[in-house]
Amino acid sequence: MEEKKKSDLAVLLGYAGNYKALTFLGLTLSGIAMVLGMLPYICVWIVARDLIAVAPDWAKASAVGKYGWWAFGFAIAGIAVYFLALMCTHLAAFCTASNIRKQGMSHLMKTPLGFFDYNASGLLRNRLDGAASEKETLLAHNLADIVGSVTMFIGMIVIMVAFDWRMGVACLLAAVCSILGFLPCSP
């Protein structure tokens, strides 16, 4: 019976040990922070809508201040949650990189001495440290940014369709056409 091959990310998270949950918590918080970062724009849209509805008698727009404070609160909350997300992913990434270094050195210590006749120990250590650092960057920064970007993309689609589905579909169609190159380029 063939054993299923683990994905690269599953192998990498295997080095995380008990800190694997912290990585997932950080990624979840990164997505939440991205949603919180988009909410001030919705508050600004509501303020503009309310002001346009009562123009030129601006005094009738009584909820403008409330939405301004909500926007400020969402912005601060987004920054705080993103900070917590990066703290979680960084802590997990540092421990994962440390475990990679430890297990790599443990593996090198078990190799026969003849192996080092053809492979310089300093070069092996340098490569092991470089590989662990790259994995640390992936876990600490890149995965959180990817989750945030995907969340923002999905959130923007939801917002465009929720506020005016016709305009949302038109914007999405224009974006797809521009990516595929169907729209003529201007000189």
pLDDT averaged per 10 residues in sequence order, the chain, 187 residues: 73 82 93 95 88 82 88 96 95 89 85 81 84 85 92 90 84 82 58
Are 154 and 32 contacting, i.e. CB atoms less than 8 angstroms apart? no
Amino acid sitting at position 77: A
pLDDT given at position 9: 76
pTM of the model: 0.79
pLDDT given at position 185: 56
Ordered by start, the domain boundaries in the chain are: 8-154
Pull the structure tokens for residue 13: 């998270």
Are 69 and 39 contacting, i.e. CB atoms less than 8 angstroms apart? no
pLDDT given at position 30: 95
Contact residues for 31 (Cβ-Cβ < 8 A; gap 6+) = 147, 148, 150, 151
pLDDT given at position 2: 61
In the chain, count of helices (H) and strands (E)?
Answer: 7, 0
For the stretch 116-156, pLDDT in tens is 778 787 888 888 888 888 888 888 889 999 999 999 999 98
pLDDT given at position 126: 86
DSSP at 59 = G
